[in-house]
Structure 1
Amino acid sequence: MLRAVSKHLLQWSVPPQVALEQAKISVGDLQRGMFVSRLDKPWTQTPFALQGFYIRDLEEIRQLQKYCRFVYVDVHKTVGSAGVTLRRLIGASGASAKGHGRAAVRVTIPCRPVAVSHKTYPPPQPAQREAGNARKLHGQILRGMGEVMGLVASNRPLPVPQMNRVVEDLVESVLRSPDAFAWLARVRDRDEHTYSHSVRASIWAVLFGRHIGLARHELLQLGVATLLKDVGKLSIPAEVLQMPKRDPRSELEYRKFVQHSVQMLSADAQVDPQVIDIVRGHRERHDGGGYPGGLRGDKIPVLARMCGIVTFYDEATNPRGASQPIAPSKAVAELYDLRGIAYQEQLVVEFIQAIGLYPTGTQVELSSGEVGVVVEQTYDRRLRPKVMIVLDAHKRQLSKPRLFDLAAAEDRAEKLIERGKMRPEEKVSIVRDIEPGAYPEVNTSAVRDDYLFNSGGQLSRFFSRLAR
């Protein structure tokens, strides 16, 4: 029903030089969660006492339909799925409304480019060299987050110095080899914890920061803030947190977690004020549609914008209630659709470049028909990673898995093509990523352990694990 709203984006209540805020909507297209800011008649001629309110139920919609033909809806205050859809429609159809003879204007939100340097840190070391240290640190972070949540729940002080030290170690590990920790962010093991989202998002955040050349102290601030951004959720009723789809009233209650997080962290003098600013701003959105402050563009701190992007990405790849992550391409497509609307376009593009279209741990199908798992990135050629091939072209398990370096294979193929010994279409490439679980024979955790900790050897043990 809300798709019809695009036909009713008739008028904007602010001048063209200001970001679009209010849409004139037919009462037939109203939904719960919309914030009605103006009517098509004086408020005194209606039974609505408040000059601005959220639509909470169908009865309020019926009342509006009884007294009005259209209303003005505040785009940025509208919550839930109605808010997301309405802001997307506005982002996509600002210019298209001109086709109806109306003066709608697509406004570029002021936002200065972020300074980026891809040469700040040396080329990564092989993941296998850093794998043991990364796994140890990952365990320490998980245990540390368990301790943090326990302390928050009992109103005791946070172990800030210990968390800082662990994240400092995480930063140094990621600077040496991003792929080692990318494995740990991508693969979900059986001992999954409720707070593992924050741990995964923190890993993506530091990977992102390394890619654009953040200084070490900024990487530390970003990593700690992403770890602690959700501590305030312990103050939100469990039934609200666990709702698969929140009604407007529950959504407003849920959004209070940001203020709770800020209050908890602000009470501890050891917490870096920059960390608190990142936590405060990580749910703000580029177009002003976020919370708690409705900030937009340059008003949102850069590190908070980055924290928002990695939060979205991890929530998209690990949807609530799902037993396994989804294919990264779906999450990347969703994120890319929101560029310039919910997130700064430059940072969206940089993040996608940072993780690659096929992050480490992704199951992929090759143009040869074979199926494998991405085990390591080629950082100057992201579409040509190293893949451990597990299934043949007929999707049968190989008697012995083999490591296939797409970048090196492409170099060899180019030479053969130059000599006329190979046709261009015979080059092997990735054609798609695959949803985990599509091929039960592909045990990503086993591939990870064998590649990282057995140096690609002991393949008989590898297959004995796959066979179980």
Structure 2
Amino acid sequence: MAIEQAKISVGDLQRGMFVSRLDKPWTQTPFALQGFYIRDLEEIRQLQKYCRFVYVDVHKTVGSAGATLRRLVGGSGAGAAGQGRNAPRVTIPCRPVAISHKAYPMPQPARREASNARKLHGQILQGMGEVMGLVASNRPLPVQQVNRVVEDLVESVLRSPDAFAWLARVRDKDEHTYSHSVRASIWAVLFGRHIGLGRRELLQLGVATLLKDVGKLAIPAEVLQMKQRDPRSELEYRKFVQHSVRMLSADAQVDPQVINIVRCHRERHDGSGYSDGLRSDKIPVLARMCGIVTFYDEATNPRGVSEPVAPSRAVASLYDLRGIAYQEQLVVEFIQAIGLYPTGTQVELSSGEVGVVVEQTYDRRLRPKVMIILDEHKRQLNKPRLLDLAEAEDRAKKLIERGKMSAQEQVRILRDIEPGAYPQVDTAAVRDNYLFKGNGQLSRLISRLAK
């Protein structure tokens, strides 16, 4: 069946509408997701700035706007604008997850939490090394120790998500013990904070994501390290979930909800996952979230690759799996949680300059703070420059209204860049100086970039 779309003037847009097409190529706008729900007035203003009309998916639109559109169209296709760019999807019924974006106060500046986050990060890495060592020798897990450190992680992320986002995104060259489970646990707690999970659920999600791979110690190393597994090796690999559940269930101190998340985190929305082939609502919400962050971290940190890949590639892959492998609502919320340009991402601006995203602007995700390292000719600046894109947009609007600037001159993020594309951009140095040195003391950054 065709996707029914209504052609809507941008002056008539409402919250709850699902924008499936624009009146121009997506690449000529700041909207990185090719299809999204309108959630606030800021998104409507952005659409009004770049478009005259858009196409809205009649059946995906929710709330009163959806009811009105469906009544007007009447199911006959009148007013529809034809099929979208993608083939129609078979919708798998799933109850919406309760979301609260205002459950916690606005985040504190990352610098305020940075030292504490770095200390906790070290403790988690050390603790995971101890956990794996104990599991390998068939000794009891230090459950209380794991719970305490994840409780501290939760409280830190509640104060400032960006401080830990830096630690999940940037890998130091000498960081041999960096763990996928630690990164995924950080993303999981960031995700949970964004949708308003309570502290108990955040703890359960964080602990489960941290411990979900302990069963891999029972899988032969040659199977784990295979880039492409044959069917027999794949079946052997998948047994790690059962091993993890068995190991965690052997300790009475482990929360049963944690074990259930671990048991179900490889299940998929369409029933194609393992170990039990669960689908849709049969998969616990926290397990669905654990599955999403696991996929994202594996996509941004492929096995055998020395540096993370550009987040846009992982986001695009995840977005393509919405409604198939992962619940669509949760995929969209996760992308909003980390931002289209997560903290630590190297980006190129429309001005041609190159920098690193150092902090999110939580009410305007497309307008983070960026430390500019290279000028428009890709030459290294003598002194890195901090650009707050949200503040720059506010200034630009006033100039545009006065006729002193055109909309095309407004600086925005053009694209993210693969780490290593510009060797003179040292993301770890940017992190250290932004979080721990302050804007006025960039001498170490400059000296490291000059090497």
**TM-score under structure 1 length normalisation:** 0.77
Which residue of structure 2 lines up, in the alignment, with residue 394 of structure 1? 377
Identity %: 87
SS at match of 1:116: coil
The aligned counterpart of 1:248 is 231
Instruction: Give the AA of the match of 2:271.
Output: G
- Name the counterpart of 1:282: 265
Counterpart amino acid of 2:245? V
Displacement of 1:190 in angstroms is: 2.5
Give the equivalent residue in structure 2 for 1:118. Answer: 101
Moved more, 454-463 or 151-160: 454-463
Which position in structure 1 is the counterpart of 2:345?
Answer: 362
Q: Aligned residue for 1:4? A: none
How far residue 110 of structure 1 moved from its aligned partner, in angstroms, is 2.3
User: For 2:201 and 2:98, how far apart are their aligned partners in 1?
Assistant: 13
For 2:200 and 2:450, the matched residues in 1 are separated by: 46
Structure 2 SS opposite 1:381: coil
For the Cα contact (< 8 Å) 2:185–2:206, is it kept in 1? yes
Q: Which 5+ residue runs of structure 2 have no aligned equivalent?
A: 1-87
Give the match for residue 243 of structure 2: 260
| Alignment RMSD | 1.0
Q: Which residue of 1 aligns with 2:324?
A: 341
Q: Does the CA contact (< 8 Å) of 1:145 and 1:195 recur in 2?
A: no
Separation of aligned partners in 2, 1:191 and 1:271? 33
2:254 equivalent to 1:271: yes
Q: Indicate whether 1:133 and 2:116 are aligned.
A: yes
Structure 2 equivalent of residue 145 of structure 1: 128
Aligned to 1:466: 449
| Structure 1 residue identity aligned to 2:102 | K
Letter of the 1:273 counterpart:
P
1:411 equivalent among 394, 403, 411: 394
Match of 1:101 in 2: none
Corresponding residue for residue 404 of structure 2: 421
- Aligned 8 A contact 1:450 1:457 in 2: no
User: Residue 159 of structure 2 corresponds to which residue in structure 1?
Assistant: 176
Structure index of larger Rg: 1
Query: How far off is 1:455 after superposition?
Result: 1.3
Q: Which amino acid aligns with 1:375?
A: V
Distance in 2 (CA, whole Å) between partners of 1:184 and 1:404 is 21
Q: How does 1:1-400 map to 2 (within 5 A)?
A: 107-193=90-176, 196-400=179-383
How many residue pairs end up in the alignment?
A: 364
Distance 2:110 2:182 in 1: 19
The code of the aligned residue for 1:204 comes to W
Deviation at 1:461, TM superposition (A): 1.9
Q: Equivalents in 2 of 1:331, 1:107: separation in Å? A: 23
How far the C-alpha of 1:433 sits from its partner, in A, is: 0.2
- Name the aligned partner's letter for residue 337 of structure 1: D
- Alpha-carbon shift at residue 409 of structure 1 (Å): 0.3
- 2:35 corresponds in structure 1 to none
Asked whether the 8 Å contact 2:348–2:414 carries over to 1, the reply is yes
Offset of residue 431 of structure 1: 0.3
Q: What is the distance in 2 between the residues matched to 1:195 and 1:464? A: 26
Alpha-carbon displacement from aligned partner over 1:49-101 (angstroms, at most 9, x marks no partner): xxxxxxxxxxxxxxxxxxxxxxxxxxxxxxxxxxxxxxxxxxxxxxxxxxxxx
Letter in 2 for 1:383: L
Q: Quote the Cα distance in structure 2 between the aligned partners of 1:108 and 1:409.
A: 41
> CA offset at residue 111 of structure 1?
1.1
- Report the residue type matching 1:281 in the other structure: C
Q: Identify if the C-alpha distance between structure 1 residues 106 and 428 changes in structure 2 by more than 3 Å, giving closer, same or farther.
A: closer
Following TM superposition, the consecutive aligned residue runs of length 4 or more in structure 1 with deviations greater than 6 angstroms are: none
AA aligned to 2:184 is: A
The CA deviation string for residues 103-144 of structure 1, in whole angstroms up to 9 with x for no partner, is xx9643221000000000000000000000000000000000
Q: Which amino acid aligns with 1:142?
A: L
What is the alpha-carbon distance in structure 2 between the residues aligned to residue 127 and residue 156 of structure 1? 38
Write the distance in 1 (CA, Å) between the matches of 2:287 and 2:173: 31
Q: Distance in 1 between matches of 2:103 and 2:120?
A: 24
What is the CA distance between 1:193 and its match in structure 2?
A: 4.1
Q: Which runs of 5+ in 1 are unaligned?
A: 1-104
1: distance between equivalents of 2:440 and 2:271?
52
Could you tell me how far apart the structure 2 residues matched to 1:108 and 1:128 are? 43
